[in-house]
């Protein structure tokens, strides 16, 4: 596992966007062999999406041969709801050159939710798997909607949301917990771990405990972020505020070994070491 510590959330956004853009460019992606990118919703990735849009507008990256799969989707809300299908178009897709047919988002209004989830896994397999999955984590350390207690080998499925997640996400639903869906479709922990790379964004003091559990504690299904310890190419980009519960030695270790990789602009150097 790698841990890239940035001073503030804006640094997390710039670093992660530069990293993703470089990975797309390095892949030699084409219509025949597209770069496959897993993406989250929520507030944490908004800065990264804004930076990716900026990089695209500067002509440094194209998404024309990128295929995307979103992590999760609420069940039972309209597609035009700001927290549903339109979230990705409003905040990212409408501002880049991605082809609509290359966008994959779970259908939370499908007649058969289990068939929808099975088909989603099949679509991922059909394009050769996901090259890089970007995600965030909840305060309880969940990735996607894989709540505490989720199997670390789980696949895409319907998942009941716990009360903590409902309370936290009520800010997206007029601060009314009664408006928050109680069920969601989500890729599984195993689905994410099958990706060739996993990049997790962590920002804010409220994520400090989850970061500590994911980095310093053992692999535990009660903290699904901890599964990243088992991934050969797991990467966490975090801000200083989220590191307050890490041991001093852990913090200094990662700051030392990544000291030459912290500047987002340096990622554009062709011979820059990326760590794998």
Residue 204 exposed, middle or buried by CB count within 10 Å (0-12, 13-18, 19+): middle
Q: 221: which 2 tokens?
A: 């299904």
Q: Which of 192, 131, 127 is nearest to 157 (CA)?
A: 192
d(CA 237, CA 136): 10
140 is annotated as an active-site residue: yes
Chain centroid to Cα 76, Å, comes to 23
Contact 140, 147 (CB under 8 A): yes
Q: Of residues 72, 73, 107, 131, which has the active-site annotation?
A: 72
Q: Which of 188, 217, 149 is nearest to 1 (CA)?
A: 217
Q: Which of 273, 256, 249, 262 is nearest to 6 (CA)?
A: 262
233 is annotated as an active-site residue: no
Q: Of residues 107, 116, 131, 142, which has the active-site annotation?
A: 142
d(CA 5, CA 24): 23
142 is annotated as an active-site residue: yes
d(CA 154, CA 146): 9
d(CA 233, CA 229): 9
Helix (H, G, I), strand (E, B) or coil at 148: coil
Taking each helix axis as running N to C, give the angle between helix 46-57 and helix 9-26, from 0 to 180 degrees, rounded to the nearest 10. 50
Contact 23, 35 (CB under 8 A): yes
β-bridge pairing 157-160 and 183-186: antiparallel
Q: Of residues 51, 116, 147, 194, which has the active-site annotation?
A: 147
Q: Of residues 140, 194, 197, 239, which has the active-site annotation?
A: 140
Q: What amino acid positions are annotated as catalytic residues?
A: 72, 140, 142, 147
């Amino acid at each position: 596992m790698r841990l890239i510590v940035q001073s503030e959330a804006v640094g997390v956004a710039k670093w992660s966007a530069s990293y993703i853009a470089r990975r797309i460019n390095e892949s030699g992606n084409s219509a025949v062999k597209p770069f496959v990118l897993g993406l989250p919703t929520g507030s944490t990735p908004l800065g990264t999406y804004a930076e990716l849009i900026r990089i695209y507008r500067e002509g440094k990256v194209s998404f024309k041969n990128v295929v995307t799969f979103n992590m999760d989707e609420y069940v039972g809300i309209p597609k035009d709801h700001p927290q549903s299908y339109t979230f990705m178009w409003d905040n990212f897709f409408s501002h880049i050159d991605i082809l609509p047919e290359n966008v994959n988002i779970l259908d939370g209004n499908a007649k058969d939710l289990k068939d929808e989830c099975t088909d989603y896994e099949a679509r991922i397999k059909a394009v050769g798997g996901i090259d890089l999955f970007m995600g965030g984590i909840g305060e309880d350390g969940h990735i996607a909607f894989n709540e505490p207690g989720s199997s670390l080998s789980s696949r895409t499925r319907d998942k009941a949301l716990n009360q903590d997640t409902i309370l936290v996400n009520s800010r997206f639903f007029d601060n009314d917990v009664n408006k928050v869906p109680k069920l969601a479709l989500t890729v599984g922990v195993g689905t994410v771990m099958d990706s060739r790379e996993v990049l997790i964004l962590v920002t804010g003091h409220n994520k400090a405990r989850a970061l500590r559990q994911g980095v310093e504690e053992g692999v535990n299904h009660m903290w699904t972020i901890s599964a990243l310890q088992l991934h050969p190419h797991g990467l966490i980009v975090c801000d200083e505020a989220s590191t307050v519960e890490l041991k001093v030695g852990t913090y200094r270790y990662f700051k030392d070994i990544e000291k030459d990789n912290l500047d987002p602009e340096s990622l554009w150097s062709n011979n820059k070491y990326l760590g794998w």
